[in-house]
């Protein structure tokens, strides 16, 4: 395959709602670019893009697919992305390396949830956008209403480049306002006949072209002056304005396609090659240290891994974009995170599960390599000169939906865990962790659908039945007042016995507190707990009542108990304990005796010190359409949430709230139901707070019952 130079490369991501026609459009583009000689279809389950078993089963995309097409002497790298919000990580990663987003809009449904999600992600990445209005052949399609909705939701910078002539059944023609010609397509699609605009459409075409020219002129001050002087722009000036406006997000061109029958796709590709920015025409990408890479082919080589895939019979595939220099087969690069050297054995241009070998690639191109040792997603590979430079990583969203997971057959647990970790390599929004505290394997994702897809794959492809259960909540335990207790451990069973007696006082820890005056503190030891908070051990022993060598054993006994709190078995925190007296035996005292004495004394004191359960509180940010605000706020109040504030963000209201994690189980599903899928939210841990008294009583009762069941 030909090696393309930076100026001849276009990197696009196909984004938009589910069923908007992205994968079908990708198939058309591969056909028009000569990569395939026959178009597949979603219904026939033979598209290049959706080739994975789960995608064939569901007939929609689950993972992004990297493709390419050669057109007009240019290489168009295409990343086809899923449309459901549960797989938004694929969209975010794709937009991180794409230079233009083609937002595909279903003319039957207008602006959908997926359209809005795609738009928000292009805003975050400052990605140029081309809109492609699809499904114009359907009876319920409405181009004018779709445009109205788009202007309402996305602002007035839309610039109509094409409009359909005969929308609905029999659709086969569009008016191109740049060329001022009518494109009429054969019944089965393909190359159009280009004719003059019919008299019946001339008035409308001229009116829309005038509006388009005015839109184009606003993208450049010099062109705006020419427009005011002449009342119009020349064709070259229009193209110049279009390129500038697109790359700076000053305008968003709108084109028409009928992807099902390959109508208008050739013209869309022509538009992309002529007007979409090349990689070196985009703003430089920054490294973590603030250095800029501008896709310069003469600079030392640097590449960024944005996607990892594990393919049957092929192994791990790393997809990366070259941000500087040239990379040839056999080159050695350095992983900036680990410092390890990676040799690139083979380089491939990829389309779905198919590959074409490349001798080298230059800055701006997107390619793949296989069997690299240790370059997960978000890795930067550099020449030795730049070994420490790390390109800013993709920021994947935190999990919104969590479940505890276990294999139905205990013997499959290890294999299931390995498969889940392999899936995490491919999908960074899938979080897998074993919680020692909760004694559960926790699976986190973007929604119920996301995790159900994972479950389907493991059960149907790997034949490991698995169960989802509600995850436990990582509560904490603490105390609210001081209390004393003592415990004598005595055991005699022939020979050497066991003896240890400990007198202890405990009190709540507060930052900057002074120790009690009741007992003189001889030695203080502060432990930063792994789960947050502190434990302070103050030794107040006088007169050798307990030998100093037994103090570590007492601390060990206390540590064992705070790892399994007396109230609910949760971790305890923020406690000061004083060892102020005790007894030992010259023969029978040993470490185990004082460990047990310390453990039991602490447990007894804890129960008398106003024990309090703490629960994790999360900051929740919700973007919701204004007409659903009331329903969302009512639901939040029912979840013990506190509304912290509200603000407007575009056409949405942003609600900031604080809510207990215990009340947010399956919130992603509930919010989607309340808002018909139009709201988005994120959660971030804030702090631990006291649970209300009634909730504490219920938790204590539940824990006691569970302990009885175990007994």
Q: What is the pLDDT of residue 709?
A: 60
pLDDT of residue 538: 96
Ramachandran area for residue 543 (φ above 0: left; ψ -120 to 50: alpha; else beta): left
What six digits make up the tokens of 617?
């509180």
The helices-and-strands tally (H runs, E runs) of the chain is 16, 38
pTM score = 0.87
Both tokens of 98, joined, read 């794409």
pLDDT value, residue 710: 56
CA distance 158 to 136: 19
Homologous superfamily of the 401-472 domain (CATH): Elongation Factor G (Translational Gtpase), domain 3 (3.30.70.870)
Report how far apart, in Å, the C-alpha atoms of 30 and of each of 44, 66, 70, 359, 381 are: 17, 12, 8, 22, 29
Task: Give per-residue pLDDT as tens, 560-608.
Answer: 999 988 888 899 999 999 999 999 998 888 999 999 999 999 999 999 9
Determine the CATH number of domain 477-609. Answer: 3.30.230.10
Low-confidence ranges of the chain (pLDDT < 70): 494-495, 708-711
Q: Which CATH number is 613-695 given?
A: 3.30.70.240
Tens of pLDDT, residue by residue over 310-367, are 988 778 999 999 999 999 998 999 999 888 899 998 999 999 999 999 999 999 999 9
CB 45 within 8 A of CB 111: no
pLDDT of residue 224: 77
Domain spans, the chain? 6-203+251-281, 285-386, 401-472, 477-609, 613-695
Q: Which fold has domain 285-386?
A: Elongation Factor Tu (Ef-tu); domain 3 (2.40.30)
User: 328 has which bridge partners?
Assistant: 360
Among residues 221, 254, 265, which one has the least CA distance to residue 240?
221
Q: Are 164 and 171 in contact (CB under 8 A)?
A: yes
Q: Where are the beta strands (DSSP E) in 454-592?
A: 466-469, 476-478, 483-491, 498-508, 523-528, 534-539, 571-572, 575-583
**116-131, pLDDT tens digit by residue?**
889 999 999 999 999 9
Q: Give the pLDDT confidence score for residue 704 in this predicted structure.
A: 83
pLDDT at 711 (0 to 100) = 47
Give 6-203+251-281's CATH code, choosing from 2.70.50.60, 2.40.50.140, 3.40.50.300, 3.50.50.60. 3.40.50.300
pLDDT the model gives residue 100? 97
Do the first three CATH levels of 401-472 and 613-695 match, i.e. the same topology?
yes
């Amino acid at each position: 395959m030909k090696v393309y130079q930076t100026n001849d490369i276009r990197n696009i991501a196909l984004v938009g709602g589910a069923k908007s026609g992205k994968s079908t459009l990708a198939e058309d583009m591969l056909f028009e670019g000569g990569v395939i000689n026959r178009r597949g279809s979603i219904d026939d389950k033979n598209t290049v893009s959706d080739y994975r078993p789960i995608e064939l089963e569901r007939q929609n995309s689950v993972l992004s697919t990297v493709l390419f097409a050669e057109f007009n002497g240019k290489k168009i790298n295409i990343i086809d992305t899923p449309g459901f919000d549960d797989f938004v990580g694929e969209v975010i990663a794709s937009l991180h390396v794409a230079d233009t987003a083609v937002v595909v809009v279903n003319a039957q449904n207008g602006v959908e949830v997926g359209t809005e999600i795609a738009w928000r992600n292009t805003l975050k990445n400052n990605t140029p956008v081309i809109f492609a209005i699809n499904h114009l052949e359907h009876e319920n399609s409405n181009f004018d209403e779709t445009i109205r909705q788009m202007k309402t939701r996305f602002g007035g910078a839309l610039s109509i480049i094409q409009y359909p002539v005969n929308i609905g059944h029999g659709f086969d023609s569009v008016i191109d306002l740049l060329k001022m010609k009518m494109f009429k397509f054969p019944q089965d699609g393909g190359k159009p006949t280009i004719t003059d605009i019919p008299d019946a459409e001339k008035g409308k075409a001229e009116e829309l072209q005038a509006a388009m020219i005015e839109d184009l002129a606003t993208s450049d001050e010099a062109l705006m002056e020419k427009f005011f002087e002449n009342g119009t722009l020349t064709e070259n000036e229009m193209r110049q304005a279009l390129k500038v406006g697109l790359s700076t997000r000053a305008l968003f061109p709108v084109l028409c396609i009928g992807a099902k029958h390959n109508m208008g796709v050739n013209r869309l590709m022509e538009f992309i090659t002529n007007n979409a920015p090349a990689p070196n025409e985009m703003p430089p990408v920054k490294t973590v240290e603030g250095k800029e890479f501008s896709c310069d082919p003469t600079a030392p080589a640097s590449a960024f891994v944005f996607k990892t895939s594990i393919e049957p019979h092929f192994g791990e595939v790393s997809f990366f974009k070259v941000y500087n220099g040239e990379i040839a087969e056999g080159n050695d690069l350095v992983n900036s995170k680990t410092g390890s050297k990676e040799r690139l054995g083979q380089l491939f241009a990829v389309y779905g599960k198919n590959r074409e070998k490349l001798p080298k690639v230059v800055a701006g191109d997107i390619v793949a390599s296989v069997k690299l040792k240790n370059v997960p997603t978000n890795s930067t590979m550099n020449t030795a000169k730049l070994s420490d430079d790390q390109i800013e990583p993709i920021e994947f969203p935190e999990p919104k939906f969590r479940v505890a997971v276990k294999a139905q057959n205990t013997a499959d647990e290890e294999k299931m865990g390995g498969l889940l970790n392999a899936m995490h390599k491919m999908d960074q929004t899938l979080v897998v962790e074993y919680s020692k505290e909760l004694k559960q394997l926790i699976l986190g994702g973007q929604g119920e659908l996301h995790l159900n897809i994972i479950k389907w794959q493991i059960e149907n492809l790997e034949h490991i039945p698995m169960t989802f259960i509600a995850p436990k909540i990582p509560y904490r335990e603490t105390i609210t007042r001081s209390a004393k207790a003592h415990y004598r451990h005595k055991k005699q069973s022939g020979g050497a016995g066991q003896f240890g007696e400990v007198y202890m006082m405990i009190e709540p820890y507060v930052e900057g507190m002074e120790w009690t005056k009741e007992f003189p503190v001889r030695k203080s030891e502060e432990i930063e707990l792994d789960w947050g908070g502190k434990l302070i051990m103050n030794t107040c022993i006088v007169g050798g009542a307990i030998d100093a060598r037994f103090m570590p054993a007492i601390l060990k006994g206390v540590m064992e108990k705070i790892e399994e709190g007396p109230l609910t078995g949760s971790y305890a925190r923020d406690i000061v304990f004083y060892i102020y007296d005790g007894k030992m035996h010259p023969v029978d005292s040993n470490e185990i005796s004082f460990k047990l004495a310390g453990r039991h004394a602490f447990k007894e004191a804890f129960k008398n010190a106003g024990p309090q359960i703490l629960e994790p509180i999360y900051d929740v940010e919700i973007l919701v359409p204004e007409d659903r605000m009331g329903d969302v706020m009512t639901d939040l109040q029912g979840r013990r949430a506190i509304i912290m504030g509200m603000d407007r963000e575009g056409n949405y209201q942003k609600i900031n709230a604080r809510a207990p994690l215990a009340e947010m189980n399956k919130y992603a599903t509930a919010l989607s139901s309340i808002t018909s899928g139009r709201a988005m939210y994120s959660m971030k841990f804030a702090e631990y707070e006291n649970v209300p008294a009634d909730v504490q009583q219920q938790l204590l009762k539940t824990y006691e019952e569970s302990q009885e069941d175990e007994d």
